[in-house]
Amino acid sequence: MTIRPLAVLAAVALPLALPAAAQQQGTLAQVQQHLRGAQTMTASFAQTDRAGKTLNGTLTLKKPGKVRFQYEKGVPLLIVGDGSSLWFIDYSVKQVSRWPVKNSPLGVLLNPDQDISRFAKVVPTGSPDVVSIEAHDPKRPEYGRLTMVFARNSAAPGGLMLQGWVALDSQNNRTTVRLTNQRFNAPVSDGTFRWNDPRNRGGRR
């Protein structure tokens, strides 16, 4: 399965009239508050690619810049962000790829200091309890497009619970990630984001 860590809940986004400018700004400010308030997060995820194949696993996030997608047993894939780089590891072929975190659509989730109003807009939904925003830099189309979906929840940071995301890369490959069992701001060790390098026997990063 090709790893494209972007995506979510397209079913909840129903076309409506665009919110007024003030509502747009208020919603974006609430999303920004969530992103800054959620310093760590763990969750179960289900990742579905454009062919409809789904992989499950556990997501661990620690800001700034650290993330780990640990896939279910038997899937020889791993995605790790170590604070500066995003690593894609395929243990079945001993292949490792690297991208700067800021160049990934996931950068919006990993950097709480970004002003999302510069590159994000509110996407209308069919429910007042669902918030969706689309993040995309028109000057950097190669970074792709990320649409995040939140449910209003007073117990979550900023009053929003991240439900997942839909990622679209520059080749229009779509990946959907749905989250469950979300937990915020529990201690997460930096050692969580180390990984075994298959190119070097016994190598660690």
* Domain annotation for the chain: domains and CATH numbers: 23-180 (2.50.20.10)
Tell me if 133 sits within 8 A of 121, measured CB to CB: yes
pLDDT at 38: 95
Q: Give the integer Cα–Cα distance in Å for 78 and 57.
A: 10
pLDDT at 153: 96
In 3D, which of 78, 83, 44 has the Cα closest to residue 63?
Answer: 83
pLDDT at 24: 75
Reported as type and span, the H/E element at residue 120 is strand 120-123
pLDDT at 101: 79
Q: Give the integer Cα–Cα distance in Å for 164 and 148.
A: 6
Reported as type and span, the H/E element at residue 136 is strand 130-136
pLDDT at 112: 76
Q: Where are the alpha helices (DSSP H) in 56-194?
A: 107-110
How many residues belong to the chain?
Answer: 205
Q: Give the tokens for residue 139.
A: 């000057």
pLDDT at 118: 83
pLDDT at 111: 83
Residues 6+ apart with CB under 8 A from 185: 37, 38, 39, 40, 41, 157
pLDDT at 11: 30
Q: Give the tokens for residue 104.
A: 């990934």
Strand order in the sheet with 130-136: 95-100, 85-90, 77-82, 66-71, 54-62, 40-48, 174-184, 160-168, 145-152, 130-136, 120-123
pLDDT at 22: 67
What string of pLDDT tens digits covers the 205 residues of the chain? 444 443 333 333 333 444 456 677 889 999 999 999 999 999 999 999 989 999 999 999 999 999 999 999 999 999 999 988 999 999 999 999 998 877 777 788 888 788 888 888 999 898 999 999 998 877 777 777 899 999 999 999 999 999 999 988 778 889 999 999 999 999 999 999 999 999 876 666 7
